[in-house]
Structure 1
């Protein structure tokens, strides 16, 4: 009987988190907050991204926005990245190039390169994306920047991955969806804790107020989530979730590469604020325990009660996650949500067990 009570308590904790996620799942997207269109700086840092830049620079330049500059940062690339940038810059005065050479103190450090790009920005409001990302529409820049106000200085967007055949693609997109649900939901209840560099915006005033990336300059990852974790507050943060504001990029096609990427990203979580680490930790532990206890409880005399708890938890999950998936244009993931969740929980456990404390200050 004690096992049943424990299982019920774990499921209840799961459901409590889903009630937090409702804050985002049932939120109606705000098309525009401000009709004003002040100048913005679109900043992209690239390292050995010649092909992606060739494909994506036209998307960025074709945004329906009256006044913006495109700052392209070449972070000591060894391919034709700089040449591609210069080729586009010859024909468009909106492009500013920051050519970063390796610095002995900041060798291969994206945050150092980004800092130089931010210092070049002429405009107070800045929008960031990655070289391998392209906007969902020509109104992306307008949609993101419209959420800036005198109070809102940090805007969280959705950086999606392209839909492609295969299980790994769906797993990557489900993990991205679940992460977005969490950081959007926490932002809605006044506890913003992270964002993604694929689609992020903040003001130069906020950047300089927090002394940029100085507190974690030696950490390879975290130019997005660690900065947001430090700088975001209930009052200064907004979210942008209209479909035209999304960005898309190609996901990893190799399980080992994706695993390595996630392993690197998880190293930044230990630097989050204590409250954020506790909330994320409890969520993961509750998910892990739910799956472990589900198997055990079904082989006991209380299996009928256990099955009822499992069914109720899955119904709530389908409603909350399913609603968010439709909002973020990931509806094809809904049918197998529990399966993706189980695989993701096991993957995260494997990453946690195998991750190394090896220090790495290079992002590529």
Structure 2
């Protein structure tokens, strides 16, 4: 009796997982951008930096050298203790489209990136804002153009893809795989009219959308979430568009160790508690059903006829390989598919450990 219940539970859980992956495939059929655009919209590229002197020196030229006729760069020095301001000033001397905003720590907003971003957004001269991190670079000289061309009178929030640089290490494999899966999810949710998050290292929106929701006021007390919690407030099925063209991608340096990555993901995952109920439910259902899938599959392989379990198990992986395979190709991460089962199980363990840790303590600062 118990084995029968477990078997049918396994069938239901597998069906749930397969439905999720079929839903995720929707982002592969991206909307076409407007074809008749000629004018290049004025864009303000906003970079918030805290102790990022070295990264600014390395990556800022890739922004300055963008092939776009009408853009400024707003550099926000968020109370840095290194020579970030000196590096910013040196670039400003040679480029008249750079504006520097120096932010001093105040007691009410100590260590709060959202406060610094708010000052930068208000200081920007253009209404169309494009965000990227200081340790990040566009993968094309046409990044600004590709992101900007998604704007129209209805589409005022553009979700981009932020890759991590490929390196030869196990942690790098996991970081890139997790980034790929996250992008597949937030792109597909947005495509289906229910945007729930973005990545601040490649995000664009109209400044009026920022003021419509009173900026970050609803979550200013939360140190992280300047991207996904803003999307929770401002994005909807009408005003949001995804950008999946390769020229619109950005690339960041990946964490070098599991400890560093663990700390980073703790900050990111902690914001999920403040998502809308529907997003928490469906994201939670996907995660829990995946955990149950592996638990039930392992149990039934030992105590139930394997000839019945194996075809169900292989059907799950066939659908997953197809969806993630095409998605990985579209997002320029094709090699990840070769070690998919290993990465999937490892990532589940990693996420479970983060959830357990976040139950006992919360990360406090963005840097």
- Shorter-chain TM-score range: over 0.9
How big is the shift at 1:222? Answer: 0.2
Q: Tell me the matched-pair count.
A: 363
Which of 76, 81, 89 lines up with 2:79 in the alignment? 76
Normalised to the residue count of structure 1, the TM-score between the two structures is 0.97
Which sits farther off after the overlay, 258-267 or 237-246?
258-267
Contact 1:29 1:241 in 2 (8 A): no
Q: Distance in 2 between the 1:361 and 1:281 partners?
A: 24
Runs of 4+ in 1 over 6 A off after TM superposition: none
Q: Is the 8 A contact 1:39 1:68 kept in 2?
A: yes
Residue 291 of structure 1: which of 289, 294, 297 is its match?
294
Structure 2 unmatched ranges of 5 or more: none
In 2: Cα distance, 1:177 partner to 1:86 partner: 36
Of 123, 139, 142, the match for 1:139: 142
Whether 1:162 and 2:188 are equivalent positions in the alignment is no
1:3 maps to 6
Q: CA RMSD in A?
A: 1.2
C-alpha distance in 2 between matches for 1:39 and 1:16:
41
Q: In 2, distance between residues paired with 1:184 and 1:32?
A: 19
**1:227-238 → structure 2 map (5 Å cutoff):** 227-238=230-241
Change (3 A) 1:350 1:357: closer
Q: What stretches of structure 1 of length at least 5 have no aligned partner?
A: none
Match of 2:117 in 1: 114
**Deviation of 1:229 (Å):** 1.4
Q: Deviation at 1:358?
A: 3.9
Describe the superposition over 1:315-364 as per-residue Cα deviations: whole angstroms up to 9, x where unpaired.
00000011000000000101111211111111111111122454554211
| Residues 31, 143 of structure 1: 8 Å contact kept | no
What TM-score do you get using the length of structure 2 for normalisation? 0.97
Answer whether contact 1:184 1:239 (CA < 8 A) is retained: yes
CA contact 2:47–2:132 (8 Å) conserved in 1: yes
> What is the distance in 2 between the residues matched to 1:73 and 1:301?
60
1:202-281 paired onto structure 2 within 5 Å: 202-281=205-284
SS at match of 2:255: coil
Task: Trace 1:1-364 onto structure 2 (pairs within 5 A).
Answer: 1-25=4-28, 27-28=29-30, 30=32, 34-356=37-359, 358=361, 360-364=363-367
